[in-house]
Amino acid sequence: MTHCQMVGYSFGGLIALMVNALNPGSVSDLVLLEPALLERKSIDELRILRSQRAIVALALLSDGDPVVSVTQFLDLISPNRSTHPRVERMTI
């Protein structure tokens, strides 16, 4: 990997952390904006959320109905979003 600067937002922040950890010395500057990994005050809450995300990620990668798994993902990351049928259909 080429030496680079990296900026990650939300899940991109989590990915940036992982890339940095897996490629020591290749990232010169790392900027995280609201990284998904650090979004809870309690480590216990983070562990629960991580396990929930792992379940949803497996569903997204499976051969099941993508609408169901994307909806589960949205419920997890944005539980207070508008679920008006038109908005939800466009989001999915």
Q: Among the ranges 14-18, 39-43, 63-67, which has the highest mean pLDDT value?
A: 63-67
Q: What is the pLDDT of residues 8-23, one digit of tens each?
A: 988 788 888 888 899 8
Quick one: CA dihedral 13, 66, 60, 40, positive or negative?
positive
Distance CA 14, CA 22 (A): 12
* Exposure b/e, 24-63, CB count within 10 A at least 16 = b: eeebeeeebeebbbeeeeeeeeeeebeeebeebeebeeee
Q: What is the pLDDT of residues 74-86, one digit of tens each?
A: 898 888 989 899 9
Q: Is 16 helix (H, G, I), strand (E, B) or coil?
A: helix
